[in-house]
């Protein structure tokens, strides 16, 4: 299977996915895509010899369809079978997502369906929750809402800040996402709970 990984920032999840796609893994990374030319993930991918595509969203303004048409054109050059969103910070419309139904994954830093959207760590702390975590799910047009493929849970400690909690969650993201992609690429959609 050919995997495209979408990043906007440092791409720590991308690096964990790439590191695991070796040996008898049924998938290989074929392109790293970003909306941000300065994304650390792009520089890292280039250094690894992985193809990269940058489609800056800013020239398109509010014309999401035009931005997504440019994404499609960039992707076509690499013929991916699976898309992994990994710290990709642009909302994708149904027009882009629907053709990828069942073949696009995302990692979200909460135990969905709790805390869709942004600032999930601060929200969990402010709610007084005892546990938090991350979710890998199939992407549907509804934001952070598709079928769950896996979750990892961490404790929220009394002295936690959003930063300490997000660091604890990120560690688990780097375990969960590779483990889910490895089984997903082999055709196994059984839910994984770490």
Whole-number Cα distances in Å, 105 to 6, 74, 89, 127, 181: 10, 19, 14, 28, 8
Of 1, 178, 146, 5, the closest CA to residue 75 belongs to 5
Residues 157, 56: Cα–Cα separation, whole Å: 39
Q: Which of 27, 92, 107, 152 binds ligand GRF (CB under 6 A)?
A: 107
CB-based burial of residue 187 (10 Å sphere; 0-12 exposed, 13-18 middle, 19+ buried)? exposed
By CB under 6 A, residue 33 contacts ligand GRF: no
By CB under 6 A, residue 141 contacts ligand GRF: no
Q: Which of 4, 5, 6, 13 binds ligand GRF (CB under 6 A)?
A: 13
By CB under 6 A, residue 86 contacts ligand GRF: yes
As annotated, the active-site residues are: 108
By CB under 6 A, residue 80 contacts ligand GRF: no
By CB under 6 A, residue 35 contacts ligand GRF: no
* Segment interacting with ligand GRF (CB under 6 A) among 11-19, 44-52, 60-68, 69-77: 11-19
């Amino acid at each position: 299977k050919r995997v495209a990984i979408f990043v906007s920032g440092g791409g720590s999840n991308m690096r964990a996915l790439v590191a695991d796609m070796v040996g008898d893994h049924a998938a290989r990374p074929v392109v790293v895509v970003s909306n941000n030319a300065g994304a650390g993930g792009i520089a890292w991918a280039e250094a690894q010899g992985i193809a990269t595509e940058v489609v800056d969203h800013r020239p398109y303004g509010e014309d999401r369809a035009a931005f997504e048409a440019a994404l499609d054109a960039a992707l076509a050059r690499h013929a991916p079978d699976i898309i992994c969103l990994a710290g990709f910070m642009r909302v994708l419309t149904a027009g882009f997502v629907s053709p990828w139904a069942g073949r696009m994954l995302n990692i979200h830093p909460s135990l969905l369906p709790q805390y869709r959207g942004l600032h999930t760590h601060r929200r969990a702390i402010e709610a007084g929750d005892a546990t938090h975590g991350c979710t890998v799910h199939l992407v549907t047009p509804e934001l952070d809402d598709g079928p769950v493929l896996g979750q990892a849970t961490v404790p929220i400690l009394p002295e936690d800040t959003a930063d300490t909690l997000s660091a604890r969650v990120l560690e688990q993201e780097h375990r969960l996402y590779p483990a889910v992609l490895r089984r997903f690429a082999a055709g196994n959609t059984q839910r994984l709970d770490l």
